[in-house]
Amino acid sequence: MRNPGSKKGAVVGSGGQKSKGLQGKGPTPKATERPNHPAYKRANAAAKAEQVRSQRRKAAENGPETVAGRNPVVECLRAGIPATALYVALGIDADDRVAEAVQLAATRGISVLEVQRGELDRITGGAMHQGLGLQVPPYEYAEPRDLLKIATQSGRPPLLVALDGVTDPRNLGAVVRSAAAFGAHGVVLPQRRSAGITAVAWRTSAGTAARMPIAVATNLTRQLKEWADAGLMIIGLDADGDVDVDGLDLATGPLVVVVGSEGRGLSRLVKETCDQTVSIPMSAGVESLNASVAAGVVLAEIARRRRLELRG
């Protein structure tokens, strides 16, 4: 029995001496950092899925591409796109497109391989192939320094085209086609946030991608500065340009034409690198032109002014 006059120390478990010796574990970890939490498992699964997608993207960039479908295959063969094999499913109904595809492939020395439909499903990744698939090898890009060398050796003022964030391969193909039509010496793409030369871009370029040197720059802004240091003037297409295309007096000199992305136009750093920005006058109430059309208008004007100077 306790003596009312005595003093007793704190009792274990009462928040006394023993509890003073306990060490805290710190703040509670986030849900995504706790292995047994559903949020952690979801985040981990998402990370693994993104890793798989990234590996597939890299494989697609470094490996051949297979164009699927009768119309796309025939269009690619008509455009002269390099190809290594034409796959034809056994037992398909051979209409005019199939016959033309086989004839074009044979004429160009492309292997024509008959395969089971299931095998063609696998080759095309389950796409709607209609019994035809065309294997296209990866595009071989030039180096940016090669473009300037080609331009300076041409005997004409250098004219290069740079694309700043054009992500639609059809727009890319159309710009390449315009560049070839109006005397440009090469096209440069940024390594990131840009379409590449896929079969779609090949087809839209109407085969001119085979003749137009196309390079990839690790850093587009730095590459533009290097060309500026080499004596080229940098102009960017912009709806709020310093001058409109009628006042483009730089047209006949060494030039780089920069085309912005479909949505946001020129990026800030690229725009700051330009010596001049150029707009295209249009009727009131008309939306701005897309990237490839705007590039074609300006390149046509540059070609016109250069012809006039030569006639002199």
| pLDDT tens per residue, range 290-310 | 888 999 999 999 999 999 888
170-179 pLDDT, tens digit per residue, is 999 999 999 9
Q: Which residues contact 31 (CB under 8 A, 6 or more apart)?
A: 37, 38, 39, 40
Quick one: 231 and 182 in the same domain?
Answer: yes
Quick one: 171 and 306 in the same domain?
Answer: yes
Quick one: 175 and 289 in the same domain?
Answer: yes
Quick one: 106 and 182 in the same domain?
Answer: no
Domain span at residue 301? 144-310
CATH number at residue 119: 3.30.1330.30
Quick one: 184 and 243 in the same domain?
Answer: yes
Model pTM above 0.75: no
Quick one: 127 and 91 in the same domain?
Answer: yes
Say how far apart CA 111 and CA 255 lie, in whole Å. 42
Quick one: 305 and 159 in the same domain?
Answer: yes
Count of domains observed in the chain:
2
* DSSP symbol at 215: E
Q: Which residues contact 167 (CB under 8 A, 6 or more apart)?
A: 193, 194, 195, 261, 262
What are the Cα distances from residue 178, in Å, to 26, 270, 289, 307?
A: 63, 22, 15, 16
* Ramachandran bin of 13, using left for φ above 0, alpha for ψ from -120 to 50, beta for the remaining angles: left
Encoded amino acid at 34, one letter: R
pLDDT at residue 114 in the model: 94
Residue 304 lies in a domain: yes
pLDDT at residue 59 in the model: 42
- Structural contact between residues 299 and 178, judged by C-beta atoms closer than 8 angstroms: yes
| Percent of the chain's residues with pLDDT above 90 | 47
pLDDT at residue 85 in the model: 94
Q: What is the mean pLDDT of each run of 10 residues along the chain (312 residues)?
A: 53 52 64 72 67 44 77 86 91 90 94 93 88 90 92 94 92 92 94 85 79 91 95 92 90 94 86 93 78 92 92 76
Quick one: 120 and 153 in the same domain?
Answer: no
